[in-house]
Structure formats: C-alpha cells, structure tokens
Amino acid sequence: MNIHSKLPRVGTNIFTIMSGLATELKAINLGQGLPDFPMEPRLHELVTKAMRDGFNQYAPMPGWLPLREAIAEKIDYLYNTKINPGSEITITPGGTYAIYTAFTTILQPGDEVIVFEPSYDSYVPNIEVNGATAILVPLKVPGYGIDWEAVDKALSPRTKAILINSPHNPTGAVLSESDMLELQKRVAGTGIFIISDEVYEHLIFDGLAHQSVMRYPALLERSFVCFSFGKVYNCTGWKLGYCVAPAALSAEFRKIHQFNAFSCNTPVQVGLAGFLSDKEAYLSLSSMMQQKRDYFISLMKDTRFTLQESFGSYFICGTYERISDESDKELAIRLTKEYGVATIPVSAFYQDGTDNKVLRFCFAKKEETLELAVERLKKL
C-alpha cells in the first residue's frame, strides 16, 4: 500500500532520537525537556483521591468545569482579565494538541502563518498538514529578539496567523511589553489570528513579568492562548493542557476537539482543580526553576561551553567554539556516546537546518544530575 504522505519532509523528531540514544547508552539526559525530580506530592495525592472517589469516566467535552473556573480565577489574579470558564477555556490533552487544534480551526489551504525561528518543532508540520505555508522569520542573533521590520516584510494578504512563544523554547528568550505592542500595531484592523504558546508561563526568571496575550485585550480578541499543565507542574507524562480563546473562536476550536480527543483524563482534571485553589501552586514555580538555572550556570563556568542568556523555560543554550568546529548534531551525538551526556542540537529548530553551532541544555533536573553531567562536560 502506498501512502501519499501529508508530511513528506518529516522524519523522527529530535527529542525521540536524543532520548532514545540517551536511554540506549545510559547517558544523562539534558536533552528532551522533562524533569527528573518528583512532582508536587499534594497534586499526586489529589489525583489519586479523585480516582478513589470514582472520577473515572468521561469528563465533559470542554473540560471539568471546576478546573476551568480555577483557571479563570488564576487568569484574573495574574493578568487582571475576566475569562468566561464556560465558553472561553477548553481543556486539551497537552499544549501541543491545543496548538495543533488552533491551527486546524483557522487554516485553509494557501494560508500563510508567520513563525519565528528557531521554533519548537511541532509548529511547521502542524501548519503544513493543514495545507498552509509557514513563513519563517529568523529571530535576531544574539538575544533571539523579534525583528519587527522583518515581520513587516513577511506579512502578506495571505497571512492568517502569527505564532508567538514566550518564554521561548529552545532559547529561553522572553517577549517584552514593547514586543506585544509592536505585535498589536501590526494586527490591528486585520483578520490575522495570534496563536500564543505560553506553556512556560510560570517559568520566568529575574523578576520579569510574563507578557501573556491575556494582558492585551486587543490581542486576546484574536488569540488562541495555549498552556501545558505537564510543563509547569513537572508531570510532562500526564499530557494535559488548555486553550483560552474568545467564545466564537473557542466554539470553532471545540468542533475540531470534539471529534478528535473529545475529552481529557478526568482524575487529573479533578485533582488539578483542587490544587490550583492554592495560589502557591503557581506562584512558587519560577523561583524553584530559577535556582536550577543559576546552579547550572555556576557549574558550567568550569567547562569550555559559552552559555547564552535564558530568562525562562526549562532551557539554556550554549555555544562551543572553544571545544570543536563540528556541526551541532555531530557534537550532540558524540557527547552522548563518548561523554554520556545528551543535549539537543539547536539546528533541529530550523526548517533548513541552520547550524549556528548551539546546543540546548535542559536544567529542569535534580542538583546531583546537573553536577554529574557537568563533571562529564568538563572533560571536553
């Protein structure tokens, strides 16, 4: 049987390759973004209790209402924005699914979507599978800020959406208030949608405020804002997230969702609804992750890598001009095989494989894991 592939250029993604190699070679995995420390025991207990209490059947299609109410309360508290939990929040099986569903909701063949590179690897295939085209705009180097003049050049009558991601994977860059206002200027009076990937919402450092689309009514009215519980609560394997969008956009989003996953894991939703009623659940997250970033930076001073700045996410990038002139992929594989440390080559976040010789390190790890990994990296 022959399949006419919908994604002919796509192979196995880099996270699968590097985690596979790390497992096979028993390397320390600073590659794929997943914590190796235990998640919050209270959340674990609440979900276990929900299962024991019999919350084991299908949840409502848009999500468990008390969870959507808790999310709306959090949004009001953090961003001073009123969101209707009934019509504007949909619980999804993870952030990636929310982004895919948002694209599938709005895109028609021939549409264009502006995507900044380096970019998380699911965006472009999500766009292409819908018959649309990604218009790639490089982020500025160094710093990975948005080049707004380049955005002006990329805009066209076919532009259907702009994808933003802050805090940013893989670089840890964050958008500023002035970026959000630049974006607002460009979309005002157009039919352009925003898809905002905010899965690292609570993992932002150095006292910076997360510039959620939720703070900007003129952006929110045209946005699908996507989140991940897995990422912020250190339970990536639970695969639960949500999408916030105005009622009319959410209604169309739900038409796609109801014939795909239909609904999400019930006990996890029930447990999270209880967990989120305590604000500490999200207010404590950035300082815990910032400590890990700072510890990793201090350890890496004894290596010959040059770390770039990271203001959020699980990640920090580093260059290796003092170590080798290999391609980033070659070095990532050699590091795993010969030194027992897996990382992610940042060229995987460019459609044309642009190699600026940068590796991404995940610091969402126990201190002892970071210490052991850096002991090995020092030998380079």
The residues binding ligand PMP (CB under 6 A) are: 33, 94-96, 120, 165, 169, 197, 199, 228, 230-231, 236, 239, 241
Which of ligand PMP, ligand GLN, none does residue 32 bind to, with CB < 5 to 8 Å depending on kind? ligand GLN
Which of ligand PMP, ligand GLN, none does residue 202 bind to, with CB < 5 to 8 Å depending on kind? none
| Closer residue to ligand PMP, CB minimum distance, 174 or 299 | 174
Regarding 234 and contact with ligand GLN (CB under 6 A), the answer is no
* Near ligand GLN by CB under 6 A: residue from 28, 30, 33, 130: 33
Angle at 210 between CA 205 and CA 214, to 5 degrees: 165
Decide: 68 and 276 in contact? Cβ < 8 Å: no
Least distance from ligand PMP to the Cβ atom of residue 229, Å? 7
Least distance from ligand PMP to the Cβ atom of residue 33, Å? 6
- Around Cβ 125, how many Cβ atoms within 10 Å? 18
Reading the block at residue 331, the tokens are 């070095």
Each residue 104-123 as x (binds ligand GLN by CB under 6 A) or -, in order, gives: --------------------
Least distance from ligand GLN to the Cβ atom of residue 93, Å? 13
| Closer residue to ligand GLN, CB minimum distance, 30 or 299 | 30
Which of ligand GLN, ligand PMP, none does residue 228 bind to, with CB < 5 to 8 Å depending on kind? ligand PMP
- Around Cβ 273, how many Cβ atoms within 10 Å? 20
- Around Cβ 260, how many Cβ atoms within 10 Å? 13
Regarding 15 and contact with ligand GLN (CB under 6 A), the answer is yes
Cα separation of 139 and 119, whole Å?
Answer: 9
Cα separation of 150 and 343, whole Å?
Answer: 30
Decide: 376 and 341 in contact? Cβ < 8 Å: yes
| Closer residue to ligand PMP, CB minimum distance, 35 or 241 | 241
Cα separation of 301 and 104, whole Å?
Answer: 44
Which residue has the closest beta carbon to ligand GLN?
33
Which of ligand PMP, ligand GLN, none does residue 92 bind to, with CB < 5 to 8 Å depending on kind? none
| Closer residue to ligand PMP, CB minimum distance, 130 or 303 | 130
* Sites for ligand GLN among residues 132-191 (CB under 6 A): 169
Q: Name every residue whose Cβ is closer than 8 Å to that of residue 301 and which is 6 or more positions away in sequence.
A: none
Question: Cα–Cα distances in Å, from 25 out to 81, 175, 278?
Answer: 48, 37, 41
Which of ligand GLN, ligand PMP, none does residue 197 bind to, with CB < 5 to 8 Å depending on kind? ligand PMP
Least distance from ligand GLN to the Cβ atom of residue 120, Å? 6
| Closer residue to ligand GLN, CB minimum distance, 160 or 231 | 231
Helix (H, G, I), strand (E, B) or coil at 297: helix
Cα separation of 338 and 345, whole Å?
Answer: 16
Which of ligand GLN, ligand PMP, none does residue 271 bind to, with CB < 5 to 8 Å depending on kind? none
Which of ligand GLN, ligand PMP, none does residue 196 bind to, with CB < 5 to 8 Å depending on kind? none
- Residue ranges of alpha helices (H) inside the chain are 14-25, 41-52, 65-79, 95-106, 123-128, 148-154, 177-187, 217-220, 229-232, 247-257, 266-275, 280-283, 285-300, 328-334, 367-377
Beta bridge partners of 345: 359
Which of ligand PMP, ligand GLN, none does residue 365 bind to, with CB < 5 to 8 Å depending on kind? none
Residue 137 CA from chain centroid, whole number = 18
Nearest CA to 317 out of 338, 286, 296 is that of 296
Which of ligand GLN, ligand PMP, none does residue 118 bind to, with CB < 5 to 8 Å depending on kind? none
Least distance from ligand PMP to the Cβ atom of residue 227, Å? 8
Regarding 32 and contact with ligand GLN (CB under 6 A), the answer is yes
Residues that bind ligand GLN (CB under 6 A): 15, 32-33, 169
